[in-house]
Amino acid sequence: MNSFRELWTWLEGRGESSRVTREVDPRYELTAVIRCMQRGLNHALIFSRVRGTDLRVATNLFGFRHAVAAALGVEEADLLRALVEKEGKPCPVRRVPRGPVQERVIDKSIDVTRDIPPIVFSEKDAGAYITAGVLLARHPATGVYNASWNRVQIVGGTKLRVRMMPPQHLGRYHAEAESRNQPLPCAIVIGAPPGLMLSAASKVPYEADELEVAGAWQGTPLEMVPCQTISLDVPANAEMVIEGEVLPGVREEEGPFGEFTDSYVPVMRNHVMRVTAITRRQDAIYHAILAGGTEDLNLVGVPIQVEVYKKIAPFVPHVKDIATPGYVFGCVISIRKENEDQPKNAVLAALAAYSWIKVAVVVDDDVNPFDAADVLWAVQTRCTPETGIYVIPRIPSYTREDIRDIHRGKVGIDATIPLTKKDMFARRLFPGEKQIRLEDYLAKEG
């Protein structure tokens, strides 16, 4: 799929989307509806009428792993293998003179509080935030493109505040420009093509061009158009683009903000972006992501699964799949075990693969790694705590400044069956279960 809109249409055709037609308040009410949806039906959701904006607001399009796979044209069971294989085959962009994202151009009398939906997500948030913007920038020396997800506070007039700092690649780009006392041209892409959204969330090498990785993953070149006011190209089929420059030597207090750990990041001094233009489709759909919701954790989780797969595959040839159920500070690896060393090798490789991972669980291939209840069942019925739990003290994982001391030490759990007892632990089967349609059996009222 080449566009955000294609993904919405696909979900709609499968009955995996819902619409809210009554007017909602962007301050808290919209988020409350999102949370209720994600805890129930967990559909993609579009709000037709949001107070204070003429834009429709969509969310949770990437709330399903099968949607990520479909958007990239691969089977879900092959997702990790396909992403690893395609990452090494970059696909150059295709530059075009014009595209839908520039059907409407606002470059005079800009007011970000009027021109961007003012969504306030959490009770103690400092104000409205952009949470689904892919920030694009070029390295000041090499011209290589970086794409990343960054929270952006909507301030007023032409001012935004952006969370970015080294070692994040965008922060390094800005540090390079700032060392020359130059602003960093930057574009915030909202409703980006699926491949770019995933690339922006991934651990792509610093020297790689993330636009080319995005093209490789979605199997077709990204179509790019020149910005109106800055020297940068942006996706022609995006929904909205905010053009501007991140200023050198300027920091302002930003936050608090309720982030994906379900707690607040404190007030910090962060970067300032001056907006020079806003371009959009005439009927643009504004993308909003609830930090820590199903869409956010899925977009973060798939790239983590890819990195774990890369590290494990050389040691364990029969990896069925890798999941991050519950949260992204841990992972579950489903394998077809051939010897008793493989679970420990998988654990150690996973804990080293991505710094955030502090709990790694290995299960047999008859356990669904995406089902937290099934994983806990395996831990409780198959793990031998005396020999199957590995604790590595003091290794850091999540390193946010104010809470990093809590995230020290890592744990690995071998929840696989000993090979000598495989027959004894074979799971029950229930003939005909998969063919049952429960609605055919239930009595209908009246």
Query: Cα–Cα–Cα angle for 333, 435, 428, nearest 5°?
Result: 50
Q: Check residue 405 and give its pLDDT.
A: 76
Structure confidence by residue, pLDDT tens digits, 269-311: 999 999 999 999 999 999 999 998 999 999 999 999 999 999 9
Model confidence, pTM? 0.91
Count of CB atoms situated within 10 Å of the CB of 174: 25
> Which pLDDT belongs to residue 233?
97
The pLDDT value given to residue 32:
95
- CATH fold for the domain made of 4-287: Pnp Oxidase; Chain A (2.30.110)
pLDDT at 446: 58
- In terms of CATH, what superfamily is 313-421? UbiD C-terminal domain-like (3.40.1670.10)
Whether 182 and 197 have beta carbons less than 8 Å apart is answered as no
What per-residue confidence (pLDDT) applies to 195?
A: 94
Instruction: Encode pLDDT of 141-169 as tens digits.
Output: 999 999 999 999 999 999 999 998 778 89
Q: Where are the beta strands (DSSP E) in 191-314?
A: 223-226, 233-235, 240-254, 257-258, 264-265, 268-280, 285-287
> Which residues, given as ranges, of the chain have pLDDT below 70?
399, 401, 445-446
Q: Where are the domains of the chain?
A: 4-287, 313-421
User: Any residues with CB less than 8 A from the CB of 54 and at least 6 apart, and which?
Assistant: none
Alpha carbon dihedral 313, 315, 318, 322, in 10-degree steps, equals: -50
23, 239 in Cβ contact below 8 A?
A: no
Residue 444's pLDDT is: 73
